[in-house]
Structure 1
Amino acid sequence: MVGAPHALLGPRVDPLAGLRTAADPPCDVYLTGTVFLDIVFTGLECAPRRGTESWARGMGSSPGGVANMATALARLGLRTSLAAAFGDDHYGEYCWDALEQGEGIDLSPSRTAPGWHSPVTVSMAYEGERTMVSHGHEPPPDAEFAEEAAVCPPPARAAVASLTPGRRAPWIAAAARRGTRVFGDVGWDDTGAWDLAGLADLEHCEAFLPNAEEAMRYTGADCPRGAAHALTEFVPVAVVTLGAEGAYAVDRRTGETAEVPAIEVEALDPTGAGDVFVAGFVTGTLAGWPLADRLAFAGLTAALSVQEFGGSLSAPDWSEIAAWWRRVQSVEGQDPAALRRYAFLDRLAPEAGVEPWPRRRAVPTIGFGRWA
């Protein structure tokens, strides 16, 4: 069964429980990409300086790269399928077990590449920012894997795709033709072109979720909100993240707009927060929530994630979301309007009254033993 929780994981909340039918595809969200081993240093006083040695007060290791998005989706109760290459070293074994056994992610489209070492990213978090150094090589060719990941993705309710300027990914069009709802994000355009025509796969996307700087550069707009409206000429739903100001979204089909301020938290490590935001928005969209609720939920999940080490294993689950909602309601002096913004959690949080799951966090070393 695709995406079935491992027996050791315990009970999980299913946000789509009331929508499921016998005709549904076996997985809710399909992903493909590169899995890294992330090593994160936190508590640095400042950015490392040339010729000096810096000591970090905290350190964590966890699966990274596309694993950030996959774990965030799985922890929110979506049946998640991932196609990726894994090294046959200890890092690759750890990442595979952490995702399949630890998170219940379906890895049947994935494979282990003999003789290929796992890509690694070292991330240093300081002053609310981060600096990353990565190392890796292209995995060796594998016709079966290439066909599965790039030509014939499995049926799914949704897919999350990282768009690459100037390059098409054949699997995105194939997924869209099968009725999969595609959510696109994008990284920094190293070419400097910032040409929306270069994001050829945007035409297959239902929603596009850039940050404010990316949205303004792609559209030429002088403000993020104007950029969001301009993007709806190319995609039905545009969501622009505004950093400390929150997020703004426009749905061309319904005429809805929504803006939600960010939740103030003490950030330990921002790694993967953007992926968690997208996962929260996808969850709310598949569940059929109003645009404002989807935006608020995405911002909440991202805010909870930055309070923990690492990208993938910092993603919150429903028990943590429920605990946050109960806690903020008990604090005196809360702004009633702010509480109303998250009142939709009332119909969801009671379902999360289960034993905390999964509570797996990034650890300094992966050498003590295998996942159960």
Structure 2
Amino acid sequence: MKEFDVVTVGDINPDIIFTGVKRTPGMGKEVFARSVYISIGGGAANTAIGLARLGLKVALVSTIGKDMFGLNFLKLLEKEGVSKRYIKVQEKVNTGITVAITDENDRGFITYRGANELQRLEDINDELIKQTRHLHITNYSPDQKQRFMEISQIAKKYNVTISMDVGWDEAEKWDKGIMEALKKVDIFMPNEYEARGYSGKDDIYEALYYLSDYARINVIKLNKKGSIACDEKKAIVHAEGFKVESVDTTGAGDSFNAGFIYGFLNGRSMEQCLIIGNACGALSTTSFGGPAGFPNEKQLMEFLHRNKKLMGR
């Protein structure tokens, strides 16, 4: 039996979340927030916590600074049941920080990469790949292509599936070099803006169809509109979003990822995986601060039952 169900790879940082901001300030100007919250953040850390709450055995591969935030995160991850064994502590660089400006509809970010910038796919050792059922990678970049290809070969040999959520391209260049890497990926999980960027297609269904030539399963997150997915047979599925009293969308995409991967590893259909992902993403928006609203397995199933989305096999 393998030690882990999922190993997540990528960022960990505090999210400092300002809510109720009506507009972003121009230089030399000031705007006021209704409230502020601080929580653990970063795509890999959030997804790891989401998966652990759903009952899976999870490890996080990441990098922190030897500072207040980083050391407190080690304690929090342990409390959440996420293995911290593969987290590197850097003494000369601070833990990364993200400031989020959010309302009930969407959010924007300012990020200091800090220790996250030192992460490399080389931090995933070969033995760790053998000891997990699934790898979720959030820190891929074109300069790490060679190591990613090595990882994918080992993963295939040991029946390890791979998902990828590459995140926002600040320069909006949308390097097409990622496409060769996606051919080795089982699940690609962009949001609608990223999907349009990498595909070069304005229509979201055309973007999905384009991406289906690469990763085995492509999933596009559509915020309140739910999500769509397409497999290697070009079969497209759409699952509507859930109506909830949303207060903060920070971390919703990561919670969706956790839900989808949870469904995938439990043998659910593609449509069921979308429904579970949508439910996790929706529930995460009902509390302030990344993982605060992430559900455990019981809460997830109760929510699906209330919304008449019964999850029979």
Residue type at the aligned position of 2:128: P
Residues 179-208 of structure 1 deviation map (CA, whole Å, 9 limit, x = unaligned): 210011222334544343334421221111
- Percent identical among aligned pairs is 29
Which sits farther off after the overlay, 123-132 or 187-196?
A: 187-196
Counterpart amino acid of residue 124 in structure 2:
A
Query: What CA distance in whole angstroms lies between the structure 1 residues aligned with 2:117 and 2:240?
Result: 45
Q: CA deviation at 1:138?
A: 4.1
Corresponding letter in the other structure for 1:157: R
Match of 1:167 in 2: 143
Judge conservation of contact 1:258–1:292 (CA < 8 Å) in 2. Answer: yes
Distance 1:263 1:157 in 2: 29
Contact 1:277/1:298, CA 8 A, preserved across alignment: yes
SS, match of residue 319 in structure 1: helix
CA drift at 1:259: 0.8
1:310 corresponds in structure 2 to 289
Does the CA contact (< 8 Å) of 1:256 and 1:291 recur in 2?
no
Pick the aligned partner of 1:69 from 12, 22, 47.
47
Provide the C-alpha distance between the structure 2 equivalents of 1:148 and 1:227, rounded to a whole number of angstroms. Answer: 32
Moved more, 257-266 or 132-141: 132-141
Superposed displacement of residue 310, structure 1 = 1.3
Q: Secondary structure at the match of 2:162?
A: strand
| Number of residue equivalences | 307
Q: What is the CA-CA distance between 1:136 and the residue it aligns to?
A: 4.2
Alignment deviations for residues 245-276 of structure 1 (CA, whole Å, 9 cap, x no partner): 211111225x6431111112232111111111
Closer, same or farther: CA 176–309 of 1 in aligned 2, 3 Å = farther
Other-structure match for 2:248: 269
State how far apart, in whole Å, the 2-side matches of 1:301 and 1:127 are.
16
1:232 counterpart letter in structure 2: S
Cα 1:104/1:219, change in 2 over 3 Å: same
Of residues 206, 209, 214, the one that matches 2:194 is 214
Which amino acid is the alignment partner of residue 160 of structure 1?
Answer: H
Distance between the aligned counterparts of 1:216 and 1:287, measured in 2? 30
Give the SS at the match of 2:111.
strand
Using structure 1 for the length normalisation, give the TM-score: 0.74
Alignment deviations for residues 276-325 of structure 1 (CA, whole Å, 9 cap, x no partner): 11111111111001111111110111000011111133322123224424
Deviates more, 1:72-81 or 1:210-219: 210-219
Call closer, same or farther: CA 1:188–1:88 in 2, change over 3 Å. Answer: closer
Residue 93 of structure 1: CA displacement? 1.6
Point out where structure 2 has 5 or more consecutive residues left out of the alignment. Answer: none
Corresponding position of 2:128: 153
Shift of 1:71: 0.7
- State the shift of 1:113 in Å: 2.4
* Residue 251 (structure 2) pairs with residue 284 (structure 1): no
Pairing of 1:44-55 with structure 2 (within 5 A): 44-55=21-32
The answer to whether the Cα contact below 8 Å between 2:104 and 2:246 also exists between their aligned partners in 1 is: no
Q: Which amino acid aligns with 1:112?
A: V
Matches of 1:71 and 1:137, distance apart in 2 = 21
Q: In 2, distance between residues paired with 1:132 and 1:290?
A: 34
1:137-148 equivalent positions in 2, closer than 5 A: 137-138=114-115, 148=123
Structure 1 SS opposite 2:174: coil
SS across alignment from 1:240? strand
Instruction: For 2:283, give the aligned amino acid.
Output: L
d(CA) in 2 for partners of 1:249 and 1:36? 29
SS class of match (1:122) = strand
Q: Tell me which residue corresponds to 2:220.
A: 240
2:36 aligns to what SS in structure 1?
A: strand
